[in-house]
Structure 1
Amino acid sequence: MDKFKEKLAALREEVNAALARAETAEMEVKRLNDEINEKDHQITSLQNKVTLTEAELEKAENKIAETKLNLDEGETTKTVGEGLARKVSLLEAELETAEHNLRDTTEKLRQMDIKAEQFERKVQHLENERETYERKIEDLTSKYNGIKAELDETLKSLEDM
């Protein structure tokens, strides 16, 4: 009888440990989902920045094109031409900066995509683990119920004697 109680206590401890692991896994899944949502927001923000940078780049290219047209047409004087040349240099510098920012933003977006994929894989792995633990818990519960039924039958047969 004592051995049975010890086995029953051990099974309860295993069930409690499995429940604790399942709760830990669920908390981890929630945390990872929160991180994924945060990364999605960051990706959206970076995509908006890319769009704005592309618009600025287009404006800068348009300004450069206009400036070059004005220089080619020779409508301005030498002084105006020199001023426009300075503007072109500034716009080209802004263009370089915008292109650099675009490259950085694109790289960050790529890294975020990679991280998001890694988190998705980790979530899938954790969900698989959780399912495995749930199956183990179900197996242990059915074993427990079987042992309990067997104990009840044994006790009943002992009482009948």
Structure 2
Amino acid sequence: MDKIKEELLRARFPLGRVSARPFDLPITFLQKLEKLRIESEQSQSRAQHAEAEVKQLKEELAKRETTVQSLNNKLTLLQENLDRAEKRVDELSEKTRNLELTTEQAERKTKQSEAERAELEKRLEEMTEKHRVVKQELDSTLKGLEDL
């Protein structure tokens, strides 16, 4: 107990002065107790504030984790949709290439058929002309025979 009194006296009178009044010691002690009580209340208040802030930050973290999970799910769905769309694009591109090849083949056949038709029309005209000439010769020969 004497040690505590000495420490209190040193704290109250750091230069070694001792109070002339013997009742100063309890007042100083009470003041220190009050100061410690106030510091304790302030510390508790700061601790409560820190706990509230930690709670708020944990809630915010949970919300953000939920948001991240939701965005990851959306990203997965979008990736799957993209994969399906790319697959459809590939399939349609292949069908388009096949149709283009078929169209080119049909165009070649059409040109070939048109060329054959033009050739046949030319031959028809030639044969028609030969027929007309032969018919005229026949008619003139028959007329010549009738005249005899």
Matches within 5 A, 1:46-57: none
Higher RCO (CA 8 Å, separation ≥ 6 residues) = 1
1:11-66, CA deviations, whole angstroms, 9 ceiling, x for partnerless residues?
Answer: xxxxxxxxxxxxxxxxxxxxxxxxxxxxxxxxxxxxxxxxxxxxxxxxxxxxxxxx
Amino acid at match of 2:70: Q
Q: Give the structure with higher Rg (CA).
A: 2
- Map of 1:150 onto structure 2: 102
C-alpha deviation, 1:100, in angstroms: 0.4
Identical-pair percentage: 13
RMSD: 1.6
Q: Pick from 86, 99, 107: which aligns with 2:51?
A: 99
**Structure 2 residues without counterparts, runs of 5 or longer:** 9-28, 114-148
For normalisation by structure 2, the TM-score amounts to 0.57
The alignment of Structure 1 onto Structure 2 pairs a total of residues equal to: 89
Say which structure is richer in helix.
1
1:118 aligns with 2:70: yes
Per the normalisation by structure 1, the TM-score is: 0.52
Look up the equivalent residue of 1:128 and give its one-letter code.
Answer: E
4+ runs deviating over 4 angstroms: 73-76
Q: Which amino acid aligns with 2:55?
A: R
User: How far apart are the structure 1 equivalents of 2:99 and 2:38?
Assistant: 90
* CA distance, structure 2, for counterparts of residue 79 and residue 158 of structure 1: 114
Choose which of 79, 89, 94 in structure 1 pairs with 2:31.
79
